Structure 1
Amino acid sequence: MASVFTLIMEGKIPGNFVWKDDKAIAILTIQPIRQGHVLVIPREEIDHWNDLPLDLAAHLMQVSHKIANALKVAYPAKRVGLMIAGLEVPHTHLHIVPVDHMGDLSFDHAKNADGDVLKQTAEKIRATLQAQGHQEAHV
C-alpha cells in the first residue's frame, strides 16, 4: 500500500510543495512544530533512513541544506534543526524546522495548521528558494 507521501506525490492527496526534483520532494507538514516546518522526502518508498542508498541519502541532505538556507531568510531563527524520526509514516522523511532553542524541536508542539496559513508559508518558502536560484521550487 502506498504511503501518504506517495499519495501526495501522485496528486491523490493535496500537499503544499516547496521543492520537486527527480529524486525528492519537500512539502509542509500539516502538523508543524513551528511555522516553516518542512519535510524532505525521497520519491522512492524506503521506510528506514539507514536503508537509503548513500547517493539518495546525500541528495536528501543537499535538498535539506538548500531549504534550510531559505528558511533562514523566510523564518529567521537561531538555527534550523534537522530530525529524522520516522515513526508516524513508514516512508523516510527529514524534518527541517526553524528553531530558537532545543524545546522547539519537540513534537509536543505539533498542531494541525490552518490550510490558508500552510499555502502562504509554502509560497513564502518557494519564493525564497526561487530568489536563491533554485528552479526546483517552481512547483
Structure 2
Amino acid sequence: MSSIFSKIVTGDIPAYKVAETNEFLAFLDIAPLAEGHLLVIPKKEVDNLFDLDDETYTGLLIFAKIVATAMKKAIECNRIGVTVIGLEVPHAHIHLIPINGVGDMNFSNPKLKFTPEEFRATADKIRAEL
C-alpha cells in the first residue's frame, strides 16, 4: 500500500510543495511546529531512512541542505532544526523546522494552524530563496 507521502509524490493528495527534483520532494508539514516546517522525502518509497541506498541517502541530505539554506533566508529564526523520527508515516523523511531554541522542536507542543493562503505564502517565500 502506498504511503500518504507517495500519494503526494504522484499528485493524488495535494501538498504545498517547496522544492522538487526527479528523486526528492520538499513540502510544508500541514501540522507544523513553526512557520516553514517542512518535510523532505525521497520519491522512492522506503520506510526507514537508514534502509535507503547510499546514493539516495546522501542525495536526500544534500537536497535537505539546499532547502534548509533557502528556509533560513526566508523565515526569521536562529537555525533550521533537523530531526528524523520516522514513526508517523512509513516513508523515510526529514523534518526541517525553523527554530529559536531547542524547545521549538518538541513534537508534543501544540501544532500551529495556517490558512491555505498562509501556507501558499510561506511556500512562495521559501521557493523564492532557492
Which TM class, normalised by the smaller chain length?
A: over 0.9
Q: Is the 8 A contact 2:34 2:112 kept in 1?
A: no
| Equivalences, count | 129
| 4+ residue segments displaced more than 4 Å | none
- Considering fraction of residues, name the structure with more helix: 1
C-alpha distance in structure 1 between counterparts of 2:66 and 2:96, whole Å: 11
Q: Partner of 1:137 in structure 2? A: none
| Structure 1 residue 79 displacement after superposition | 1.2
**Kindly, what percent of the aligned residue pairs are identical?**
37
Could you tell me which runs of 5 or more consecutive residues in structure 2 were left unpaired when the two chains were aligned.
none
Give the distance between the partners of 1:117 and 1:94, measured in 2 at CA.
22
Question: Matches of 1:116 and 1:36 in 2, distance apart?
Answer: 13
CA distance in 2, matches of 1:66, 1:76: 17
Shift, 1:112, TM fit:
4.1
Where does residue 136 of structure 1 map in the other structure?
none
Asked if 1 retains the 8 angstrom alpha-carbon contact of 2:33 and 2:112, the reply is: yes
* TM-score (norm. length: structure 2): 0.94
Deviations 1:15-45 (A, max 9, x none): 1111111111010010011001111000011
Q: TM-score, normalised by structure 1?
A: 0.89
Residue segments in structure 1 that go unaligned for 5+ positions in a row = 130-139
Alignment of 1:112-131 (within 5 A): 112-129=113-130
Q: How does 1:76-87 map to 2 (within 5 A)?
A: 76-87=76-87
Q: Aligned partners of 2:20, 2:67: CA distance in 1, in Å? A: 12
1:18 corresponds to 2:22: no
Q: CA RMSD in A?
A: 1.0
Residue 2 of structure 2 is aligned to residue 2 of structure 1: yes
